[in-house]
Amino acid sequence: MDHHSCNNGHCACGHDHGHHKMDGTCICGHDHHSEGVGHDRSMGKIVFVLVGGILTLNSFLLNGIFPEQKFAGQLCALLGAFILAFPIIWTAVKDLVGGKVYMNELVALAILAALASGDFQIAGVIAFFLLVTIIIETRTASGAQRSIEELVKLAPDTARRLGPDGNEENVRAAELQLHDKIVVRPGENFPVDGKIISGESTVNQASITGESLPVEKSEKSDVFAGTQNLTGAVIVEVTRIGADTTLGKVQEMILQAESSRTPAVRIIDRYAGYYTPTILMIGCITWWFTGSIDSVIAFLVISCPCAVVLATPTAVVAAVAAAARLGIFIKNIAHLELASHIKSFVFDKTGTLTDGLLSVVAIHPFGETTNAKLLQVSASVERFSNHPTALALVKLAAEAEIPLLDAADFKETHGRGVEATLDSKQVIVGRANFLKERAINLKEEAADSDTMSIVYVVLDGDPIGWIGFRDKLRNEAAEMLGELRALGIRHCAMVTGDREAVAAEVAAKLQIDSYESGCLPQSKVAFVEKLKTSSRVAVVGDGVNDAPALAAGDMGIAMGAIGSDIAVNSASIALMTNDLRRIPAFLKLSRKSQVIVNQNLVFGMLFVFGGMVLSIIGVMTPVWAAVLHAASTLIIIFNSARLVRTGEELTLRETAKEQ
Ligand code: ADP
Ligand code: MG
């Protein structure tokens, strides 16, 4: 991370935009440099403000107490004004040299006008209030910088790396490479993402998932940067560093939020090139008619639309930070707004509405085949799959101490089944359709009314039996659907690759509005497309085999996404946990941020416009303009900061339940 001198990357408005994707062309003229997060830059500004502010204040005091000592008062005002104005004018000049005309020039010009007319006190006061606003903006809860500093603090700077000789050495976390091995002791936070290679422990992952319940970790478990190791010392192999870690992605998301714009702001952006010249022209006309330089100075200060420009980003940053604390990862920031327009939901069943932890409830071999043989054949093939049915089969085989056979040529067809060769015999395990597609006669089929998920096992073209599975609804599924309805969601649908009987049972229990069973991944997409013709649709899935459907929805929400790249890639929203209540919480957050953005925009525009009129008719003095300009910006900032606490009741409720 490079820290440039204290004014780099700042506009007069002072927003530090650390985002590299931006080209620095917003109305405010914010430079968007990829600078690191640090205190030094805002510290630099605080020094300017303190020294300049004291000098300016001193000049007022001197004038008041020793009115005869004109020179001392003037000198203080002069020095103060120059110290305060320097960072602002410097940025404005740099922008002009770079061929950009933005809002900075308005304030810079107001200050120059005040200096030129010999009113150093006014110049000092204007610059002082502007700088104070800048500092408060970066330091408050709705500021991206502050949010990110809080995240950065979660991941420690140093790590204990295990050398090849088994010695521990202290290194800076930034020096860690992939596949390095580090030791993390109880009470310490993990500096990077990694996999435990030895030891076991419990970990508090609240900083990433928002769930305060500690998670058990043992060998092969993934651990994440910024989470807290609670009970055991573990050796971790580094799997992701820096910006690639989950924590790093959350930071990037917050930076992205800072450059977000609503349509209103985009319109302002488009006309930004005209805004400053228009204001200057009106300023000249005002001067011509009133002859009052004070009116012009006040006009220039108040027409600087900081409040309008900050209306959206401050609210979005606060909302995104609040979401991150709940374990809601907003990959596409535009979807924070979109979420408030969603009217329909489509849920995947297995792993989404149900917990996806299947257990075998029936083993039905055909003919001579034994239960053990059926289990052995199927588990030997399924051990290469991650599908819930596969995990259940392998687990049961292990419990029954059935030895697995060597399988070759494994192939999985998502949403259908798996196949492999076992002792040069071909084995297929999958749903009924998967086998019928291959013209295999199933012999005996399970009764249509059986409410279990069923896979058939075929050995060398010959069906040898079927196995039935069941999982259970997630505890909070019904509550979540109730909350969605209360939020005005009109249609909640379910799509599943499972059998009709199972789907019907789940749909009835949860009072789902419509469902489709026996779906293939494409038919899930078709279902979503059809629903999309009548309303905005959000698709919720567990991310692995629901990727096409997630991408087909207006908005895709992936469940249990912590550590999973696929989910995060295909969805626009990723829930780090499997807690379905995060969905209504996200909708509420989205709506609340919409309300706050609108409040901010209306207030900001009315304020700027009203202030202009008051300045032109000579009611507004430059000092009042500076004070009100700062006040209006702060009102926006603190209004947005109200969002930061949204959803806190959800985590509090969880914490209370534990105790
Ligand atoms: P859902 O839509 O409910 O999440 P999936 O699309 O994951 O279900 O799977 C649909 C059906 O395909 C399952 O019910 C199962 O019968 C079959 N299937 C998918 N993958 C496998 C597998 N690895 N082994 C056996 N059967 C599978
Ligand atoms: Mg699924």
The residues whose Cβ lies within 5 A of ligand 2, an ion, are 348, 350-351, 542
| Residue of 350, 358, 515 with the most ligand 1 atoms within 8 Å of its CB, for mutation | 350
Report which bound ligand comes closest to the CA of 558: 2
21, 188, 497, 562, 594 from 555: Cα distances, Å: 23, 37, 21, 19, 17
pLDDT in tens, 91-145: 788 877 876 655 567 888 888 888 888 888 888 888 888 888 878 877 776 677 7
**Does the annotation mark 193 as catalytic?**
no
The mean per-residue pLDDT over the stretch 530-541 comes to 93
Among 433, 534, 546, residue whose Cα is nearest residue 494:
546
Specify which residues 162 forms β-bridges with: 168
Q: Tokens 């640090």 appear where?
A: 38
Q: How far is the CA of 347 from the centre of ligand 1 (A)?
A: 15
Mean pLDDT of 231-240: 93
Pairing of strands 425-430, 453-459: antiparallel
> Which residues line ligand 1 at a C-beta cut-off of 6 Å?
348-351, 382, 385, 387, 389-390, 412, 415-418, 429-431, 453, 455, 496-498, 545
Q: How far is the CA of 584 from the centre of ligand 2 (A)?
A: 20
DSSP 231: S
Q: In whole numbers, what is the pLDDT of the chain averaged over residues?
A: 84
Q: Which of 150-154, 157-161, 201-205, 315-319 comes out lowest in average pLDDT?
A: 150-154
Q: Which atom of ligand 1 is nearest to the CA of 387?
A: 23
Pairing between β-strand 491-495 and β-strand 514-516 as defined by DSSP bridges: parallel
Could you give the angle at which helices 272-290 and 104-116 cross, rounded to 10 degrees? 30
Q: How far is the CA of 432 from the centre of ligand 2 (A)?
A: 17
User: What is the distance between the alpha carbons of residues 313 and 600, in angstroms, rounded to a whole number?
Assistant: 11
Q: How remote is the CA of residue 255 from the centroid of ligand 2, in Å? A: 32
Instruction: Give the closest ligand to the alpha carbon of residue 352.
Output: 2
Q: Over the stretch 23-80, which tens digit does the pLDDT of each residue have? A: 333 334 343 333 333 344 566 778 888 888 888 888 888 878 877 777 888 888 888 8
Residue 453 pLDDT more than 70?
yes
Can you tell me whether residue 283 is helix, strand or coil? Answer: helix
Which ligand is in closest contact with the Cα of 559? 2
Rounded to the nearest 10 degrees, the angle between the axes of helix 306-325 and helix 622-641 is: 20
From the list 348, 498, 542, 554, the catalytic residue is: 348
What is the pTM assigned to this prediction? 0.83
| Ligand 1, atom 10, residue with closest C-alpha | 497
In this predicted structure, the answer to whether residue 207 has a pLDDT above a threshold of 80 is yes
Residue-level pLDDT at 22: 34
Give pLDDT, residue 493. 95
Q: Whose CA is nearest to atom 20 of ligand 1?
A: 417
Which residue, among 79, 92, 64, has the nearest Cα to 121 in the 3D structure?
79
Q: 349: CA distance to ligand 2 center in Å?
A: 6
Q: Is 453 helix (H, G, I), strand (E, B) or coil?
A: strand
Residues near 75 by Cβ (< 8 Å), separated by ≥ 6? 59
How far the first Cα of the chain sits from its last, in Å, is 42
Residue 656: is its pLDDT beyond 90? Answer: no
Q: Which has the closest alpha carbon to 387: 571, 546, 527, 504?
A: 546
Report the nearest atom of ligand 1 relative to the CA of 542: 4
Confidence at 261, pLDDT banded by 50, 70, 90: low
Q: Report DSSP letters for 472-540, one per residue.
A: -B-TTHHHHHHHHHHTT--EEEEE-SS-HHHHHHHHHHHT-SEEE-S--HHHHHHHHHHHHTTS-EEEE
Whether 12 shows a pLDDT value over 50: the answer reads no
Q: Specify the pLDDT at position 563.
A: 66
Least confident of 267-271, 460-464, 598-602: 267-271
